[in-house]
Amino acid sequence: MCIAIVTMPGKHVDNAALYRGWTCNKDGAGFAYVKDNKVHIEKGLMTYNELQTKYEKAVEAYGDKSAMLLHMRVGTSGSVTKQNTHPFPIRPQEGPAGAFIHNGILFTPAGAWKGPESDKKSDTRVVSEALNNILRLQDVMDGRELIGKAIGAHNKLAFLYDTGDYAIVNEQSGFWNEGIWYSNGTCKINGTR
């Protein structure tokens, strides 16, 4: 069912946990971080080696200064394509831009939202296309509890904005371990929660 991860500045998912997460969620990956006051999204990573190499370079260059989003996908809806990998951009009409990731199942896209047979959209991609221009930082921060109730505790969302601010919806449904928030235990190694 995917894994969504938020790392604090100076923290990163080590290679063993990254590999464990990938073995459970290998339908594509991506991550986001702040570079020069702008969220940079790296997505469409369809092999572990590609993920590990690009993630390690980003951590070395920006991990001490920036919180990061990291996502590994299991295709529960939509095609297994680069376009359905996370993070997805946020481009609100006001305030900073950013990115978001999701863990859970919101709905199965249908009708026009489903997309063509060759590129069926995931639930998160549909949400991104429908709402990315209204997901303002302040609204997300103020509405975390209400958004969490609306999507259900089994769904988790994590946001990162150009300002470096982050927000987690349904944070209590995941767990923190040494400055890293995990939406579930699929990166678990040797007794870590």
- Token digits of residue 39: 């969220």
Residue 188 lies in a domain: no
Report yes or no on 189 lying in a domain.
no
User: Does residue 139 lie within any of the structural domains?
Assistant: yes
* CATH number of the domain where residue 139 is located: 3.60.20
Domain assignment present for 187: no
Is residue 16, in this structure, part of any structural domain at all? yes
Sign of CA dihedral 74, 77, 80, 85: negative
What contacts 81, CB < 8 A, 6 or more positions away? 28, 119
104 within some domain: yes
Q: Is residue 170 part of a domain?
A: yes
- Which are the contacts of 119, defined by CB distance < 8 A and separation ≥ 6? 79, 81, 83
Model's pTM, two decimal places?
Answer: 0.95
ω into residue 87 within 30 of 0, thus cis? yes
155 found inside a domain: yes
Could you list the residue range(s) of the whole structural domain that residue 73 is in?
3-182
Q: Which pLDDT does position 188 carry in this prediction?
A: 79
Cα 158 to chain centroid distance, Å, stands at 6
Secondary structure string (H, E, C) spanning 90-122? ECCCCCCCEEEEEECCCCCCCHHHHCCHHHCCC
Separation CA 56–CA 18 (nearest Å): 10
pLDDT at residue 90, rounded to an integer:
95
Residue 79: strand, helix, or coil: coil
- At 190 the pLDDT is 56
Determine the pLDDT at residue 193.
46
pLDDT per residue of the chain (193 residues) written in tens, 0 to 9? 799 999 999 999 999 999 999 999 999 999 999 999 999 999 999 999 999 999 999 999 999 999 999 999 999 899 999 999 999 999 999 999 999 999 999 999 999 899 998 899 999 999 999 998 999 999 999 999 999 999 999 999 999 999 999 999 999 999 999 999 999 999 876 544 4
In angstroms, the Cα distances linking 112 to 75, 102, 107, 116, 117 are 19, 22, 14, 9, 11
Q: What's the rounded Cα separation, in Å, for the pair 8 and 11?
A: 5
Number of domains in the chain: 1
Question: Which of 94, 87, 69, 71 has the alpha carbon at shortest distance from 164?
Answer: 69
